[in-house]
Chains A and B, each alone.
Chain A
Amino acid sequence: MTAETDKTAPPVEILLVEDNLGDARLTREALKEGKVYNNLHWVKDGVEALDFLYKRGKYEDAPKPDIILLDLNLPKKDGREVLQEIKADTRLMRIPVVVLTTSQAEEDVLKTYQLHANCYVTKPVDLEQFIKVVQSIDNFWLTVVTLPNGK
C-alpha cells in the first residue's frame, strides 16, 4: 500500500520544529514536491514544540503528530532537550522523530548523548538532495504507519 493509491486516508500530521525560516520554507517546498498528503505544523522553538505536543495554550486543539522533524539548534529549548522529553514520556515516545542535523559531525555528537532518535538526516546544500531527503522521510513514515497499531 502506498500513499499515492490511498487518497481517502487522512493527511499525515507532520510537526516541523525549525527556527530558520529558510529551512522551514524549503521543507515545505520539498514536501510539496513529494507525494504525501500532509498537514505541516511549524513551530519555531523547543518550548513551542512541547506546547504543541502537550496541547497547551494556543495548541489546545493540535493533533497528535504522526512524525516530528526536529532541528537541533533552537532558541529557548534546544532539540536535544526536546528529544529527551519526548522519549521520556510514554504517550509521546512512540512518535517517530527525524533529527535534522547540519553536519555529519553533529550526528556523531548526538549519538554520544545516547538520545534515541529514530533517524538522523543531514541537511544538504543541494536542493535536489534535500528533496530526496524529504521523500525518504515520506517513505520512512509510510513504513512506520503500516505497522499494526503504530507499533
Chain B
Amino acid sequence: MPGRQWDAASKAKVVLEGLKGRSESAICKRHRIKPTEYRRWRRQFLSNIARSLEPRRPPSEDVGHLRAGMPKKVWEESAKALRVAQELIEALPIPVFFKARDGKHLGANRAWETYFGVERDSFIGKTVNELFSAAPEVVARHKAADEALWRNPGTRSYELEVPVHDGSFRHTLNYKATFAGADGEIAGLIGAIIDITDRKRVEQRQAIEHRVARVLAESGTVADVMPEVLAAFCETLGWACGARWSLDARAGGFRCEETWRSVDNADIAAFLAESRKSIYQPGQAGFIRRVLGTGEPAWIVDVTAEKNFLRGKEAGKAGLRSAFALPIRLGDQTLGALEFFHGEEQQADEWLLKTGAAIGAQLGHFMARVQAERDLRLSEARFRSLTALSSDWYWEQDEELRLTFMSGRFVERTGIDPAPFIGRRRWERPAPNLTESDWARHKAQLERHEPFFDFEVERVSPDGVSVWLSLCGEPVFEDGKFRGYRGVGTDITDRKRAQAVLRAAYDELTRSNSELQQFAYVASHDLQEPLRMIGSYTQLLERRYGDKLDADAREFMSFIVEGATRMKQLIEDLLAYSRVGTRGKELRPVQAQGALDRALVNLRASIESSGAQITHDLLPEVSADETQLTQLFQNLIGNAIKFRKKDEPPRVHVALRDAGDEWRFSVSDKGIGIEPQYFERIFMVFQRLHTRDEYPGTGIGLAICKKVVDRHRGRIWVESAYGEGSMFHFTLHKIQKGQT
C-alpha cells in the first residue's frame, strides 16, 4: 500500500515474519515495501532488542536517551518500539532466543522456556553446551552454524533434530540472524526455532509408504519384499536393524524369516543370526510373541533392561537399546510381525507406531495376495499333474453347448482327431450307439443344467474302429449365470469289449445249460418208450402164453419186467431232478410252516404205517419256492422215517435256529445214522448206501434236496453218529426289509 504510514508495531510484525522463516522477497512483495526498507527495519529492530538486552545498560525511560546519545524524542520513539518488540516476542508461540558474540545466552521468550523445559533467567550467561549436554552432536552442529554466522554476518537457517523438554527429539528449523551493537559491531544473534517435526514426519511417512508401495509393486515374493520394507523404515528413520517374524505352522512356533541392517557391524550381524535361529512357541510373554499373540504393536525403550525381551543380552552386546514391533495384519488375523532396533534409547513414539500399523496392514494384504497366487499356482500345478497322470481327458463346452476345448489326452487315448468336434455340439457328430431319443434325453439334461455321469458315446475312429467314451460333466456358473459345461472323458473301449466277451460267454453258458437240461429231459423222455415196449409186451406174452411156458421162462420174464420198471423209476427221478432247475418258480415270501404241513400230508401213509412221531418248532416266513420247500421237507422227513431202526418207531424233530442273516432248519432223527465218510456222497445223484432189498429207492432224494437248497442260495449238510441218528441242516435267507 504506497504511502502507508508504518508505525513501530507494524514494522516489528513485518520483521518477525522474517525471523519466523519467511523469505525477504516474499515479505517485500506481500507488504509492498522495498528490500532496503525491510533491511533497515530489521536492523533497527534487532539493535533495539540488543540494546534492551544489554545487561550493563538496561534501558531507562528517564536517562536512556542520554546514554544512547540521541534526542529525547527520538529515544522515546525508539524505546516505545523496543517495548512493542519485546511484548511481541514474548507473546510469540515459537521459541526465540538471543545470544552474545561469545555464545552466552542473553535471554529468551516464554515459548523457548516451555520448549526446552529450562528456566530462562537461570540460563542467562550459559551456552549451548549446557542446553544439550546429553547430545554432543547437536552442540557441535549449533556451534558450527554460529561460527559461520560470525564469519559471515547476516541470516542463516538449518534443520536439526534436537532433544527437548521430555527427552524426545524434535525436528527443528533454526533461523538465526546477527545484530549489531551501538558501536556497529556484531553484538550477537537472535534465533527463532520452528518445530517442523510434524511436517518432517509426514515426509518420512510418505517416504516409507512410497518405498514400500514401490517394493510391493515390483517384487514378487515375500522374501524379496521384507528386507526392502525393513530397509525403508530403518533408512528413513535412522534405526539400526530389523527383522520379520512369522508363524511357522509346521514347527508350531514363531520364526525369524528375514533381517536387514543398516551398518556392517559384526555384533549386529551376530544378534540377527541369533534371532534367525530362534523359534518361539505361541504365548503372551516375550516381545514378538506378544505382538503376534495380541496383534498390537509394542515398544521397548531399553531392551537390555526388559525382562520380557529374551534376546536382551545379545542385543546389548550389539549396542542396541530401543525396539519396536508392528504386526502384519489381515483383518483379524496376525500373519507376522516386523521388529526394529535402535542403537540409542528411543521413547515410545505414537506416530511411528501408527505409521507402522498402516504399513503392517498393507503388508498383510500383500502376503494374502502372494499366498492366494501361490495357492492358485499350486492348484493349477496340481490340476496339470493330475491331467498329465490321468488317462482321462478334459473338455469344456460354452453356454451354447458347443465344444470349446479338448485336452491332448483325447487324441492320445482314442486316436481320433478332436478338430471336427470343436465348435460343434456333441450330437452333431455320429454316435452309432445312441438313438434320437437318447440324444433328446441328454440334451434335455444339459438344458436343465444338470451334471451328468458316465454318459456312454460310441465314436468311430478314422480306420473304422469303434471307440467307446464315457463322459462326465458339470455345469459352470459365473455370478449365477450359466457359462457352459466342463468335464472329463474316459476311453472305455477295453471295458466295453470285455463286457461284450463276458456277455457272450454268459449267453453261451446259459444256452448250453438250457440245452443240457433240454437234453436230459428229452433223453429221459424218449428212453421211456422202448422201456414200455419191453415191459408191456413181456407181460402180454406172459398173459397170453404163460401156460405154454415153463417156470424158468416165467421167472426170466419177471426179471425183464422188474428191470424195465426200475429203469422207468430211475428215469422219472432223473426227470424230477432236472426239473428242480427248469421248472423252479420265483422265490417269494412263503410260510415254512405251511410247506412243512403239506409235506406231512403227502407223507401221511408212511407216517401212519411206521407209527412215526413228528415234532417241530414254530417255523417262520422265508423267501422260497413253496413247492420245492415242501419237496425238501418231504424228502428229509421221508428219509428220517425210511432209515429208522427196525425195533423202534421213528421220532423226527424239525428245529429252527436264528443264524443272523439266515434261518437254520434241522431235521433230526433217532434212526440208523450215517458213517462220516459218506457225508458228502449221499448228496450226489443215484448214490446209495444200502441195497434195494434193505431200503428201496433210487438215491435221488438228497440230490434233489441239495439242488433245491442250492437254488435258494443256502447250504445243506449232515451231522450224524452211526447207529444213533442223523441231523440234516439247511439254511435259507431271511426276508430282507422292504420285501413283502
Contact = CB atoms under 8 A, between A and B. Distances in A.
Contacts of A123: 528, 532
Interface in A86-127: 102-106, 108, 123-127
Interface in A1-34: 20, 22-23, 26, 29
A130 interface: yes
B205 interface: no
B536 interface: yes
A130 B564 CA distance: 15
A139 B482 CA distance: 85
B460 interface: no
A123 B532 CA distance: 8
B565 A125 contact: yes
B533 A127 contact: no
B583 A108 contact: yes
B535 interface: yes
A103 B525 contact: yes
B454 interface: no
A105 B536 contact: no
B575 interface: yes
Contacts of A29: 540
A125 B536 contact: yes
B571 interface: yes
Nearest to B532: A125
B579 interface: yes
Contacts of A108: 579, 583
A61 interface: no
B565 A126 contact: yes
A40 B163 CA distance: 149
Given A20-B529, A105-B576, A126 B535 contact: yes
Main secondary structure of the interface of B (DSSP, over half): helix
B575 A26 contact: no
A18 to B, nearest CB: 11
B575 A125 contact: no
Q: Max chain A CB contacts within 10 Å: which of B533, B534, B536, B571?
A: B536
Given A102-B525, A103-B528, A126 B539 contact: yes
Contacts of B561: 125-126
A106 B525 contact: yes
B481 interface: no
B536 A127 contact: yes
B572 A103 contact: yes
Q: Max chain A CB contacts within 10 Å: which of B524, B525, B571, B579?
A: B525
A103 B540 contact: no
B531 interface: yes
Nearest to B544: A29
Contacts of A22: 529, 532-533, 536-537
State which size class the interface on A falls in.
10 to 19
Contacts of B536: 22, 26, 125-127, 130
A93 B109 CA distance: 146
A103 B575 contact: yes
B521 interface: yes
B176 interface: no
B568 interface: yes
Contacts, number: 60
A125 B568 contact: yes
Nearest to A128: B539
B572 A125 contact: no
Contacts of B539: 126-128
A64 B534 CA distance: 34
A127 B536 CA distance: 5
Contacts of B568: 125
Given A102-B528, A102-B529, A108-B583, A127 B575 contact: no
B543 interface: yes
B525 A127 contact: no
Interface string B564-584: 110010011001100100010
B568 to A, nearest CB: 5
A108 B529 CA distance: 18
Contacts of B528: 102-103, 123, 125
Nearest to A21: B533
B532 A23 contact: yes
Contacts of B543: 127
Contacts of A23: 529, 532-533
B93 to A, nearest CB: 122
B145 to A, nearest CB: 128
A106 B529 CA distance: 13
A126 B539 CA distance: 7
B532 A105 contact: no
Nearest to B539: A127
B576 A127 contact: no
Contacts of B576: 105
B241 to A, nearest CB: 101
A130 B539 CA distance: 11
Contacts of A106: 525
Interface in A64-102: 102
Contacts of B535: 125-127
Interface in A118-151: 123-128, 130
Given A127-B535, A127-B536, A127-B539, A105 B564 contact: no
A105 B537 contact: no
A97 B622 CA distance: 41
A106 B575 CA distance: 10
A142 to B, nearest CB: 25
A125 B530 CA distance: 9
Interface in B497-546: 521, 524-525, 528-529, 531-537, 539-540, 543
A49 B539 CA distance: 30
A27 to B, nearest CB: 10
Contacts of B534: 125
A102 to B, nearest CB: 5
Contacts of A128: 539
Nearest to B531: A125
A103 B568 CA distance: 9
A22 B583 CA distance: 31
Contacts of A103: 524-525, 528, 571-572, 575
20 contacts: A23-B533, A26-B532, A103-B525, A103-B528, A103-B571, A103-B575, A105-B575, A106-B525, A123-B528, A124-B532, A125-B528, A125-B531, A125-B534, A125-B535, A125-B564, A125-B565, A126-B535, A126-B565, A127-B543, A130-B536
Given A22-B532, A23-B529, 6 more contacts: A103-B571, A108-B579, A123-B532, A125-B564, A126-B535, A130-B536
A-B interface, 5 closest residue pairs, ranked by CB to CB distance from nearest: A127-B539, A125-B535, A105-B575, A22-B533, A127-B536
